[in-house]
Amino acid sequence: MNRDQFFGDARSDLAGPLHGVRVIEATTAWAGPMVGCLLGDLGGDVVRIDLPGTDGGTTWPPYIPGTESLLAHETVNRNKRSAYVDLRRPEGREVFLNLVRSADIVVENFKPGTLASWGVGYDDCRAVKPDIVYVSVSGWGQYGPWSDRAGYDPAALAAGGWMSLNGEPDGQPLKGPTYVADDLAGLHAALAALAALRHRDQTGEGQHVDVALLDSLLFQSNGFLTAGATGLPLTRWGSQVGVSVPTNTYACKDGFVFVAMVLDSHWRKMADLMGRPELADAPGFATNVERVNNREAVNAAVAGFCRSGTIAEILEQLIGAGLAAAKVNSYEEAASEPHVQARDMLQEMVLADGSTAPITGPAAKFSRTPTRVRRAAPKAGADTDEVLAEVGLDEAERARLRELGAV
């Protein structure tokens, strides 16, 4: 299938499958903004609430080269508008609740109890919008012995066991290179918000959705929590896996490739490529079970084959034989891959400072309601007047609220 065939029946009059859904986002750091990012990418109207006088909640470096725009902010706050509202002030609280009246979903990721102490918690919001879907993201959840702790991504990786298995077998535990717990919590929260919307549409009932970084990470740990609970030992494998061999990173003359092999039929092809067809049926090699128990010898054979050529030469043979293999790219190399570009994973955008930059595009593709990066991340507070006017606050009232420091 080519691109034109996939999008042959696409509509151009909608922002995406969530066109018409309104989201009010009061968040900081990464996990909470990721929820709004996903809902905005899907076509939702996401209004980000920022504290007056600040630059927003995702303000760490680096800057995108040649711009005055922060990489993190542009990545996670695209497809949103921003309004300045001080939730800590009574007048700001009333503005926020006025916005909630117009919304379908509220997303927040402050420490549990914080927004309730400001008068904009779930009970406050459902008092003005009974069917609101109120999504709370936190490190440890809204209840439980750890719920009042501060929580960030690496702490969840450590507490959940993930870090204990990351790294080389003889090395120390390592955190992830990306915010994996934050991202997983954002994904679960966005999915849960949509499920709650479905329930609301069927019953008229809103609800409070509680998503913890720890829970999201444990859910996505391939059953390892059950393994831990039942005493099943777990091993740190580095680039290998415990259940199939050869699955590993191998050096070529000019870099590295990753080869993943599960099927015995694939191993027979690999044996032919290596010029060692006898290994297809040899004891210790013929089946995956045998190869797992003969890991060192199997890896040595594949490593010798990969060392014999360049990445391009080795991949041509492996991929040509229908085997799963890829070059180990840097992100710079991945960005230049024609396949990545063909999938619209980089979309050129005009940023708020007037510069242009390629912004990471949405992952899911919709044939009928295509999604895209529709607008770059806003400067904090850039859309305050527009957003407040939409909920009936006229120019005089907005001026009064500004004098009070509420917006």
- 311-354 confidence digits (pLDDT tens): 999 999 999 999 999 999 999 999 999 999 999 999 999 999 99
DSSP lists the bridge partners of residue 357 as: 349
pLDDT of residue 53 exceeding 90, the answer is: no
**What is the rounded distance in angstroms from the CA atom of residue 340 to the CA atom of residue 321?**
23
pLDDT of residue 56 exceeding 90, the answer is: no
pLDDT score at 55 = 87
**What is the rounded distance in angstroms from the CA atom of residue 218 to the CA atom of residue 228?**
11
Q: What is the 3-state secondary structure (H, E, C) of the chain?
A: CCHHHHCCCCCCCCCCCCCCCEEEEECCCCHHHHHHHHHHHCCCEEEEEECCCCCCCCCCCCECCCCCCEHHHHHHCCCEEEEECCCCCHHHHHHHHHHHHCCCEEEECCCCCHHHHCCCCHHHHHHHCCCCEEEEEECCCCCCCCCCCCCCHHHHHHHCCCHHHCCCCCCCCCCCCCCHHHHHHHHHHHHHHHHHHHHHHHHCCCEEEEEEHHHHHHHCCCCHHHHHHCCCCCCCCCCCCCCCCCEEEEEECCEEEEEECCCHHHHHHHHHHCCCHHHHCCCCCCCHHHHHCCHHHHHHHHHHHHHCCCHHHHHHHHHHCCCEEEECCCHHHHHCCHHHHHCCCEEEEECCCCCEEEEECCCCCCCCCCCCCCCCCCCCCCCHHHHHHHCCCCHHHHHHHHHCCCC
Residues 350-359, mean pLDDT to the nearest whole number: 96
First to last CA, the chain: 50
pLDDT of residue 252 exceeding 90, the answer is: yes
pLDDT score at 205 = 98
- Provide the mean pLDDT of the chain: 97
- 253-274 confidence digits (pLDDT tens): 999 999 999 999 999 999 999 9
**What is the rounded distance in angstroms from the CA atom of residue 362 to the CA atom of residue 385?**
28
pLDDT score at 265 = 97
Residues 166-174, mean pLDDT to the nearest whole number: 95
- 76-109 confidence digits (pLDDT tens): 999 999 999 999 999 999 999 999 999 999 999 9
pLDDT of residue 59 exceeding 90, the answer is: no
pLDDT score at 58 = 86
**What is the rounded distance in angstroms from the CA atom of residue 128 to the CA atom of residue 97?**
7
pLDDT of residue 168 exceeding 90, the answer is: yes
pLDDT of residue 189 exceeding 90, the answer is: yes
**What is the rounded distance in angstroms from the CA atom of residue 389 to the CA atom of residue 395?**
8
pLDDT score at 170 = 94
pLDDT band at 57; cut points 50, 70, 90:
confident
**What is the rounded distance in angstroms from the CA atom of residue 354 to the CA atom of residue 273?**
53
pLDDT band at 7; cut points 50, 70, 90:
very high
pLDDT of residue 232 exceeding 90, the answer is: yes
- Beta strands 247-252 and 255-260 are antiparallel
- 197-210 confidence digits (pLDDT tens): 999 999 999 999 99
pLDDT of residue 129 exceeding 90, the answer is: yes
pLDDT score at 261 = 94
Q: Are 347 and 338 in contact (CB under 8 A)?
A: no
pLDDT score at 138 = 98
Tokens of 207: 């609800």
Residues 6-29, mean pLDDT to the nearest whole number: 97
- 366-405 confidence digits (pLDDT tens): 999 999 999 999 999 999 999 999 999 999 999 999 999 9
Cis upstream peptide for 246 (omega within 30°):
yes
pTM for the whole structure: 0.96
Catalytic positions: 182
Please return the burial class of 38, using the count of CB atoms within 10 Å of its CB with bins 0-12, 13-18 and 19+: buried
